[in-house]
């Protein structure tokens, strides 16, 4: 009868065993050996040991509580500047805004207004240039030209002014 029930159960549940952790039996062997050794050690009933002064623990209690009271007195009261995180972030945002504004204003005041070169009149550019520099540039341009301009500087100057516009001279320079 019992065998029938056992067979029935095995048939239904496959005869599965309970799960056991990995390496359990190896660890169990070690644990048991350790417990046996500890029990043997305790069985020696080792008595006596470290000496403690009389009434030490009562005095220890008093010493510790005295030191905690001293600690409480010494700690200065901490007043929190910011009561909440919102205030903290708002302060940081205001600071950044002020710094950025200051930098912007400073930038506007110190940056010199330099006129663009094309806006300057050609007359102004020519006025600032050395005549020799003008002549040198024009001479370089004319190196390929077979005809030569003979004559003295006055003739050369007249030639340049008659054959080249102000724009040509300024552009090449």
Whole-angstrom distance, CA of residue 55 vs CA of residue 134: 110
Q: At what angle do helices 131-141 and 153-163 cross, to 10 degrees?
A: 70
| Alpha-carbon distance values, 29 to 17, 23, 34, 38 (Å) | 21, 10, 9, 14
Q: Does residue 51 bind other proteins (CB under 8 A)? A: yes
Q: Please, what is the minimum distance in Å from the beta carbon of residue 57 to other proteins?
A: 6
Measured from the CB atom, the residue of 18 and 50 that comes closer to other proteins is 50
Q: Does residue 61 bind other proteins (CB under 8 A)? A: yes
Q: Does residue 79 bind other proteins (CB under 8 A)? A: no
| Alpha-carbon distance values, 159 to 96, 141, 142, 171 (Å) | 65, 14, 12, 18
Single residue of 63, 99, 100, 173 touching other proteins by CB under 8 A: 63
Single residue of 3, 30, 83, 145 touching other proteins by CB under 8 A: 30
| Alpha-carbon distance values, 73 to 47, 58, 65, 79, 114 (Å) | 44, 23, 13, 16, 67
Q: Looking only at residues 122 through 161 of this chain, which bind other proteins when binding is defined by CB under 8 A? A: none
Q: Which two three-digit tokens encode residue 126?
A: 């020519």
Measured from the CB atom, the residue of 21 and 118 that comes closer to other proteins is 21
Whole-angstrom distance, CA of residue 90 vs CA of residue 167: 59
Q: Please, what is the minimum distance in Å from the beta carbon of residue 89 to other proteins?
A: 24
Measured from the CB atom, the residue of 47 and 167 that comes closer to other proteins is 47
Binding site for other proteins (CB under 8 A): 27, 30-31, 33-34, 37-38, 40-41, 43-44, 46-53, 56-57, 60-61, 63-65, 67-68, 71
């Amino acid at each position: 009868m019992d065998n029938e029930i056992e067979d029935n159960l095995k048939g239904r549940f496959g005869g599965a065993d309970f799960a056991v952790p990995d390496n359990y039996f190896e660890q169990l062997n070690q644990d048991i050996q350790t417990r046996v050794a500890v029990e043997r050690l305790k069985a020696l009933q080792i008595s006596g040991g470290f000496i403690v002064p009389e009434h030490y623990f009562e005095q220890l209690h008093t010493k510790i509580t005295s030191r905690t009271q001293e600690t409480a007195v010494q700690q200065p009261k901490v007043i929190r500047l910011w009561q909440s995180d919102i205030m903290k972030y708002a302060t940081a945002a205001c600071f950044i805004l002020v710094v950025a504004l200051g930098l912007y204003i400073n930038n506007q005041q110190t940056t010199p207004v330099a006129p663009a070169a094309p806006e300057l009149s050609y007359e102004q550019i020519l006025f600032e240039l050395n005549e020799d520099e003008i002549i040198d540039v024009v001479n370089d341009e004319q190196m390929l030209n077979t005809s030569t301009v003979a004559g003295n500087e006055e003739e050369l100057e007249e030639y340049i002014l008659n054959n080249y516009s102000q724009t040509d001279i300024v552009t090449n320079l």
